[in-house]
Amino acid sequence: MTKVNRQSTGVAGLDEMLGGGLLAGTQTVVVGSTGIGKTQFGLQFAAAGETDENHRGVIFDVAARGDSQNHAAYAERMFNWTLETIASEQHPKLEGFFERKSHGDYLHVFDYRGQRVTKRDLDWDEWRSWQVELNAKLRAAIAFLYGNFVSGKRRVVIDGIEPTDRPHESIQLNLCEYVYHQILRKDPEWVARDLFRERFRANAQLAAAATYDNASIGCLVLATSHESMLDDLISRPLDEGDALSNANTLIYMGKTRDGNRIGRGLYVAKHRGSSCSEEILPYRIDDHGLHIG
């Protein structure tokens, strides 16, 4: 029987519920309202890579409006981890790419905030501007992720997905789908071709020597919901084709109510690969992140 590669979530007590952790080579989506602890969860997953794969993961931030997720402050406080931020330049520096010691920990794709994130919200000129910026930034995204993969990192946290009533029109979800299918799940040689383009032939030998197994890469997507109560999240329908319905593992984080007391609960709505308990796990948050129980 083929051994299934598991990746720890970094949250004690949750791995056991998931049959040993999340499945590498798949996508996990965590859904919850603002302030419920998604970013802390994401950083715990990324930091756990230091134990599992000898490398912490990377943060790919697609936030386009609202307050910063404060990744750097959380990482510093929780793990004494100083995030190295990479600029989202349209034309990343490719000279000496494979000799570079670091390709960074954190990339915020969009340079400005305050933009709406669905096609229906925008007029034609605004939609065109979004498309132009997004297309220009794809090469920066490829350089950031591919560079980290050839350096040994095997975890990606995509944060900043905002709620929308029409997932297929979300610029952020479209970008998320592109990253997952056209970078994370794509053969490394073809990712290198997309990055170097006309200069690939000159870098082909280095790319071949720096290959990696894309089935070992885990992807955690953090999506903000309209709903804040866990019961409402659990009862929400999943549309066919929704990014949530396509995830291998789906985890809800929300508020719970017991009489006049409000708490936090976590529920694994879907987990392909092993049986999983139907129980709601209460959790708390402190300066070190999420704790079950």
| pLDDT tens profile 257-270 | 999 999 999 999 99
- pLDDT band, very low/low/confident/very high, at 67 (cuts 50, 70, 90): low
Q: Give the model's pLDDT for residue 88.
A: 77
78 residue type, one letter: M
Is the pLDDT at 1 greater than 90, yes or no? no
pTM of the model: 0.91
Q: Give the model's pLDDT for residue 117.
A: 59
| pLDDT tens profile 175-211 | 888 899 999 999 999 999 999 999 999 999 999 999 9
More confident residue, 35 or 169: 35
Q: Give the model's pLDDT for residue 74.
A: 96
Measure the CA–CA gap between 194 and 253, rounded to whole angstroms: 36
Instruction: Share the mean pLDDT of the chain.
Output: 88
Measure the CA–CA gap between 91 and 20, rounded to whole angstroms: 40
**pLDDT > 90 fraction of the chain, expressed in percent and rounded:** 65
More confident residue, 68 or 85: 85
Is the pLDDT at 241 greater than 80, yes or no? no
- Does CATH number 3.40.50.300 belong to domain 6-292? yes
Q: What is the mean pLDDT of residues 231-247?
A: 74
Q: Are 21 and 8 in contact (CB under 8 A)?
A: yes
Q: Give the model's pLDDT for residue 66.
A: 52
Least confident of 15-19, 91-95, 274-278: 274-278
Q: Give the model's pLDDT for residue 203.
A: 96
Is the pLDDT at 240 greater than 50, yes or no? no
The b/e string for 219-254 (b: 16+ C-beta within 10 A; e otherwise) is bbbbbbbebbebbebeeeeeeeeebbeebbbbbbbb
Least confident of 64-78, 125-139, 261-275: 125-139
Count helices and strands (H / E) in the chain.
Answer: 8, 12
Domain ranges across the chain: 6-292
Q: Give the model's pLDDT for residue 128.
A: 75
